[in-house]
Amino acid sequence: MATGKQLIRKFNKVRTLPHVISRLSRLIADNTSSLRDFEEIISMDPALVARLLTVVNSAYFGLITRVDSITRAVALLGMKNLHNIAVTDALKRMFATGSPNSSFSRSRLWMHCAATGICSKMIAERIHSVNGDDAYLCGVLHDIGLVVEDQVVPGQFLQAFNSWVTADTPFTELEREFIGTDHSEIGHLLARDWLLGDEVSTAIRDHHLLSEEILPESMTGILQLSEYIVSRIDMGVKPEIAARLPPLLEEHLQENAEEYQVLTDDLHEEISKAKELYTS
CATH of the domain at 88: 1.10.3210.10
Q: Looking at residue 100, what is its pLDDT?
A: 57
Contact status, residue 185 vs residue 7, Cβ threshold 8 Å: no
Q: Looking at residue 209, what is its pLDDT?
A: 94
Distance, CA of 136 to CA of 130 (rounded, Å): 12
Q: What is the pTM of this model?
A: 0.89
Contact status, residue 187 vs residue 141, Cβ threshold 8 Å: yes
Q: What are the tens digits of pLDDT across the range 168-188?
A: 889 999 999 999 999 999 999
- In order of 26, 53, 85, 86, 204, the CA distances from 48 in angstroms are 18, 9, 10, 7, 26
- Number of domains forming the structure of the chain: 1
Q: Looking at residue 16, what is its pLDDT?
A: 63
Check whether 237 has a pLDDT greater than 80: yes
Between 178 and 69, residue with greater pLDDT: 178
Q: Looking at residue 51, what is its pLDDT?
A: 81
Q: Determine the structural domain holding residue 141 and report its residue range.
A: 4-278
User: Mean pLDDT, to the nearest integer, of 35-60?
Assistant: 84
Q: What percent of the chain stands above pLDDT 90?
A: 50
Distance, CA of 265 to CA of 65 (rounded, Å): 29
- Determine how many CB atoms are found less than 10 A away from the CB of residue 72: 16
Q: Find the helix or strand (DSSP H, E) in which 145 lies.
A: helix 144-152
Contact status, residue 28 vs residue 80, Cβ threshold 8 Å: yes
